[in-house]
Chain A
Amino acid sequence: MMTDSDKDTRDDLAGFFAAAKRERYDLPDGLTGRILHDARQVQDGFVADLANRPTAPGLLRSLRDVLGGWPAMAGLLTACTAGVWLGYSPPDALPDAFVISTLSQENIDMFDADGLTTGWIEYNAFNENSIVE
């Protein structure tokens, strides 16, 4: 709530504030020039930033970024190479992919039906029989 004292203060100062509001400032010419010079420099920076912005990354770059960089890419490449080599020249302990491809469906199903161990034993027995024959 406004007190008498506040009202007196307001009345005392009203004329001073009114005079101050009537006085409007124009920017000094030199200051206007400096502000606009700053503006141009900052704008030039915007244009340069946009011009230097990299274009969309290529497939290899995207893949590298997704996988986590060059070390991950090298690991993936090694694994792929090893996989291809194992497929081409499997060790003796593994079935030859070519031989498997020539087996009948019945021989292949035994892997699923009785488990890998049983299937592996039967597969060896089959091979031995073939050799004997």
Chain B
Amino acid sequence: MISDQSLSRGSVPSAVTSAAPSDDALLVLFANGDQQAAQELTGRLGPRAFGVALRVLGDRSEAEDVAQEAMMRLWRIAPKWQPGKAKVSTWLYRVTMNLCLDIKRRQRAKIVPLDRVPDLVDGAQDAVEQMQDTARIDALQAALMTLPNRQRQAVVLRHIEDLSNPEIAEIMDISTEAVESLTARGKRALSSALAGRRTELGYDDD
């Protein structure tokens, strides 16, 4: 709902009229004073910023700070946002990754086991599978934290966030070839780090 049409800063893309307005449309609505748009964008993009920051930083408190700051920058840029020029999610990933890098530059990288995050999505997995998943995720996170920052970012974006190489290149401001190189080296390092843990993590049963 647009709370005040008179405050309009730009035309709302047509997608806003459909059942699921685009991120672009929501951002325009937000700039026009629509508070519901803020809730919708927070629900869509907040978990992505938080999740990727958690993977890259390995620290829950820092990840919360990064996600909050990234979303704050999104709110501030809303009036100047040009719909269709860039994907909102790509822009947010980029801001989030840069904030993560800033933090890592300010401190020595430390390996911290990923906090168990509440609200795991309940599914058909039984308890054993879920425990196995949890152990694998923790092992992966510990291995990720041994990678150089840029390698870790590229691997997380490519293989956990499932983004394309060109999109990652845009987020990290590097060439697609550089993304491929970073992910390849990162995966080799991860594979080496996890090699001795396959049996304990249940891969002999797969």
Contacts and interface: CB of A to CB of B under 8 A. Distances in A.
B7 A47 contact: yes
A13 B187 contact: yes
Nearest to B121: A24
B117 A23 contact: yes
Contacts of B206: 15
Interface string A1-19: 0000110111011011101
B33 A43 contact: yes
A79 interface: no
Contacts of B133: 19, 22-23
B103 interface: no
A39 interface: yes
Nearest to A39: B38
Interface string B111-146: 000000111110101000000110011011100000
Contacts, number: 121
B64 A28 contact: yes
Contact of B47 (A13, A20, A27, A50): A27
Contacts of A46: 7, 9, 31, 33, 78-79
B72 A24 contact: no
Contacts of B47: 24-27
Contact of A21 (B39, B46, B162, B191): B162
B181 interface: no
Contacts of B120: 23-24
Contact of B39 (A5, A26, A36): A36
Q: How large, as a class, is the contact surface on chain B?
A: 35 or more
Nearest to B125: A22
B64 A16 contact: no
A8 B120 CA distance: 30
Contacts of A8: 191
Of listed A25, A42, A43, residue having the most chain B CB within 10 A: A25
A16 B140 contact: yes
B54 interface: yes
Contact of B160 (A5, A6, A17, A32): A17
A19 B201 CA distance: 11
A8 to B, nearest CB: 8
Contacts of A25: 47, 50-51, 54, 117, 119
Contact of B137 (A20, A28, A35, A40): A20
Interface string B49-92: 01100110000000010011001100110110000000000000
Contacts of A50: 7
5 contacts: A26-B119, A27-B50, A28-B118, A32-B42, A38-B68
A-B residue pairs, 4 tightest by C-beta: A39-B38, A42-B75, A19-B136, A26-B119
